[in-house]
Every structure is written in structure tokens, then in C-alpha cells.
């Protein structure tokens, strides 16, 4: 009869399987220094809501913002006059301006309620400037919101909410008004930064570029950065980068590492993890406490009273798992096979791996996330 393995065994096999390292394009391994997006943020008002806006008594800044906006159009609200803004909501707008974006282009924006508005569905964002970290205005946002969530509420307080109705998107909702200055290649060199720091990969990238363009064109600065001499004419740098980013480089193999997610029980074993010979036994101690109730009945001629007497029953059970010898495991298949023979659950496997590391038998770094 075929042996049946638990489902987590197959999950572990899928998690630790890794294909043989193969060449990858430079654009997939690294990014160009200076070519990056920039975050923008703004504060504005969403109007046109169907009574789902901010409550004035709990969000006074919404009323102040609305009154300030009216003054810009020559409308002054008399002092002491309190007005309701159930159809208005104060919102925060954030977006990312991509590299090399030019004035006149549009970017998508996300609009989020910052007070107690119940929903932004059906609302329209009024003209709002979006600023960078330097305080300069780089885009102007305005438009009708697309809200994926919605909710319904009854008179008795019961309600149903689907997704998040207090956040919406406006595709192409902001026009870029100012280009972000960039220092791309302004010093005559282009620097590639690896997504994952690795000395071997940095060395191979520099070697591949030098084999194509000549010696000393590229040099690895550290485990992340590779400096490349750029053409003196800026107009030629686009063709130059197009050539470099499509070069195929074989990345270096990752270090031996075991990653454990203590919240989900997921365990990922790296390709170069090794285990030295070691003997393992792993069991568990189970303590069971059972509470029962008994009736104490006095003798017929006695003067006692009937009483209820609690009774506790405690039992201790300890598993008698035999000791298992962990042979040298040169491959991932051997490690998986040995773990399956031990029959450890994910929680027990975490304890076994930690004990192996303490004993010096596990040749890998353990990372708990």
C-alpha cells in the first residue's frame, strides 16, 4: 500500500524547490542609479457625496477647509454660522511621478478619507496641488472618483460593507506641471544597483560588460553597485543603456538560508543548506484535565445534606517516538526525505531546525520573519 504523506509535506517540497541558476537580463537584476519615481502628496476636498461625508462636530478642519475655499471665490461665511458638510469629505491624495515624466503628462492618483466619511462613492475631487518632499508643486489633481467598495446601513444600526468605500482612485487624475530634475549620468558614468546584494553577481556583471565593450569600462564598486563609463554625448546614452540592460548575466548562487514564518508556519529551505550527521528524537507531552461532578448522598438515618462534589481527573501522555539518525544531506531531496521520515509537523520542524543550528549540525542561517 502506498504511503500517504500529509499535505504540508508537498507544500514544503514546492517551497524549497529551486531551478538551476540560469542567465537573466541585466534589467531584471539591477536598476540604474538616478532613474526612480518620486512620491507626491496633497490635501483636498471631495464634494458631491450622498450624505456620506464628514460629520462637522468630529471633523472641524473639513468645515474650515470648505470655508477657505469659498473665500477664494468671493463668498464669506458670517462669523458664528455653523453649516453642515455631509456631502463634503476631507481627503489625502498621494501619487508617484515616474522618472523622466514631462509636464502635460498624466498620472494616476489615490484618494483616501482622513476623517469620518462613510463613503467616497459618487464624489468628485476638487482641484488640489500635489507637492514633493521639497515643498514644490509638481502636479495638479482633479476628477471623479472610482470607488470599488460600498456599504449599506439600516435604521437599527446594522450595516454591510464590501471592500473599503473610503478610498478611491482617479486614473489619469493629475496633470504634471513640473519635471523632476534628475542626475542621470551627469558625471560621465552610469551606475547599476543590484536588487540583491551579491559580490559574485556584481563581479559577473562587470566582467560581461567589459567582454562586450572592452577592459576597464565597467568596475564593481561593492556588492551592489557597478560603475560603467557612459558616452560623452547624452544623446547616445539611450542606445548605450538599451544595449547594456539586455545583456544576460548568470547571477551568483544565494547563501545557505532557512526562512521561517512563525505566523503562518511556512518554512523555506535554500538550495545550499547542508546537515551533518546527527541523531534526533522529538516527542510531545500531553496533559489532560477532565472535570466531573459527583453527588454525595448521606445515609438515610444520618443528619447530613446532599451535596455536589467536583472531581478532577488528570492524565499525562508522552509520545514514545524512537530516535532517528539524520544522515549527511547533500541535497534538498535528502533533507525533505529525512524530515518526512521523522514525521514532524511544521511547528515541530521549526523546533528541530533551531535545535540543529544550536548543535552546529545545520550549515545555514535561520531567519524568522
Domain architecture of the chain: domains with CATH: 7-16+257-288+317-368 (no CATH), 24-35+183-249 (3.30.1360), 38-176 (no CATH)
Q: What are phi and psi of 82, to 5 degrees?
A: -105, 130
- Cell numbers 458664528 correspond to 80
Q: Please report, in angstroms and rounded to a whole number, the separation of the first and last CA atoms in the chain.
A: 39
Q: Work out the percent of the chain whose per-residue pLDDT is above 90.
A: 36
Cα-Cα-Cα-Cα dihedral of 137, 139, 143, 146, to 10°? -110
- The Cα 15–Cα 12 span in angstroms is 5
Residue 13 parent element (H or E): helix 7-16
How many CA atoms lie less than 13 Å away from 118 in the CB half-sphere?
A: 15
Q: Please tell me the predicted confidence (pLDDT) of residue 195.
A: 93
The answer to whether the pTM exceeds 0.75 is no
CA distance 367 to 369: 6
Q: What's the CA gap between 324 and 278, in Å, rounded?
A: 9
Burial 211-250 (b: 16+ CB within 10 A, else e): eeeeeeebbbeeebbbbbbbeeeeeeeeebbeebbebebe
Query: For residue 23, how many other CB atoms are within 10 A of its CB?
Result: 12
pLDDT tens sequence for the chain (369 residues): 444 434 443 334 334 444 445 789 999 999 999 888 999 999 999 999 988 888 877 778 888 888 888 888 888 877 777 777 789 999 999 999 999 999 999 999 999 999 888 899 999 999 999 999 999 999 999 999 999 876 666 555 666 666 789 999 999 999 999 998 887 767 788 999 999 899 999 999 999 999 999 898 999 999 999 999 988 887 888 899 999 999 999 998 888 888 888 777 777 877 777 777 777 666 654 545 565 667 677 776 666 677 766 666 655 555 655 555 666 655 556 666 666 666 666 667 777 777 777 877 777 888 888
Nearest to 86 by CA among 112, 42, 122: 122
Read off the pLDDT of residues 233-276 as tens digits, 9 standing for 90 and up.
Answer: 878 888 999 999 999 999 988 888 888 887 777 778 777 777 77
Amino acid at each position: 500500500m502506498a504511503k500517504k504523506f500529509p499535505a504540508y509535506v508537498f507544500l514544503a517540497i514546492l517551497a524549497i524547490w529551486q531551478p538551476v541558476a540560469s542567465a537573466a537580463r541585466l534589467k531584471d537584476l539591477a536598476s540604474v542609479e538616478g532613474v526612480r519615481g518620486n512620491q507626491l502628496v496633497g490635501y483636498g476636498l471631495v464634494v458631491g457625496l450622498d450624505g456620506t461625508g464628514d460629520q462637522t462636530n468630529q471633523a472641524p478642519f473639513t468645515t474650515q477647509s470648505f470655508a477657505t475655499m469659498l473665500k477664494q471665490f468671493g463668498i464669506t461665511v458670517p462669523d458664528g454660522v455653523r453649516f453642515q458638510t455631509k456631502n463634503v469629505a476631507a481627503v489625502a491624495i498621494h501619487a508617484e511621478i515616474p522618472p523622466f515624466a514631462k509636464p502635460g503628462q498624466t498620472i494616476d492618483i489615490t484618494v483616501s478619507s482622513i476623517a469620518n466619511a462613510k463613503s467616497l462613492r459618487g464624489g468628485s475631487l476638487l482641484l488640489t496641488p500635489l507637492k514633493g518632499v521639497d515643498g514644490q508643486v509638481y502636479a495638479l489633481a482633479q476628477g471623479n472618483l472610482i470607488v470599488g467598495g460600498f456599504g449599506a446601513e439600516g435604521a437599527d444600526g446594522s450595516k454591510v460593507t464590501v471592500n473599503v468605500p473610503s478610498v478611491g482612485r482617479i486614473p489619469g487624475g493629475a496633470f504634471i506641471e513640473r519635471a523632476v530634475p534628475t542626475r542621470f549620468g551627469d558625471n560621465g558614468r552610469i551606475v547599476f544597483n543590484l536588487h540583491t546584494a551579491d559580490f559574485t553577481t556584481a563581479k559577473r556583471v562587470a566582467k560581461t560588460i567589459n567582454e562586450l565593450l572592452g577592459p576597464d569600462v565597467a568596475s564593481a564598486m561593492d556588492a551592489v553597485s557597478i560603475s560603467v563609463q557612459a558616452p560623452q554625448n547624452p544623446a547616445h546614452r539611450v542606445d548605450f543603456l538599451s544595449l547594456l540592460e539586455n545583456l544576460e548575466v548568470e547571477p551568483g548562487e544565494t547563501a545557505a538560508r532557512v526562512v521561517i514564518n512563525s505566523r503562518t508556519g511556512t518554512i523555506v529551505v535554500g538550495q545550499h543548506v547542508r546537515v551533518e550527521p546527527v541523531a534526533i528524537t522529538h516527542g510531545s507531552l500531553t496533559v489532560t484535565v477532565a472535570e466531573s461532578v459527583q453527588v454525595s448522598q448521606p445515609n438515610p438515618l444520618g443528619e447530613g445534606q446532599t451535596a455536589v462534589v467536583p472531581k478532577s481527573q488528570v492524565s499525562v501522555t508522552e509520545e514514545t517516538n524512537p530516535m532517528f539518525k539524520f544522515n549527511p544531506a547533500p541535497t534538498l531531496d535528502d533533507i525533505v526525505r529525512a524530515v518526512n521520515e521523522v514525521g514532524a509537523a511544521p511547528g515541530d520542524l521549526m523546533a528541530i531546525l533551531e535545535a540543529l543550528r544550536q548543535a552546529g549540525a545545520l550549515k545555514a542561517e535561520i531567519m524568522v520573519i
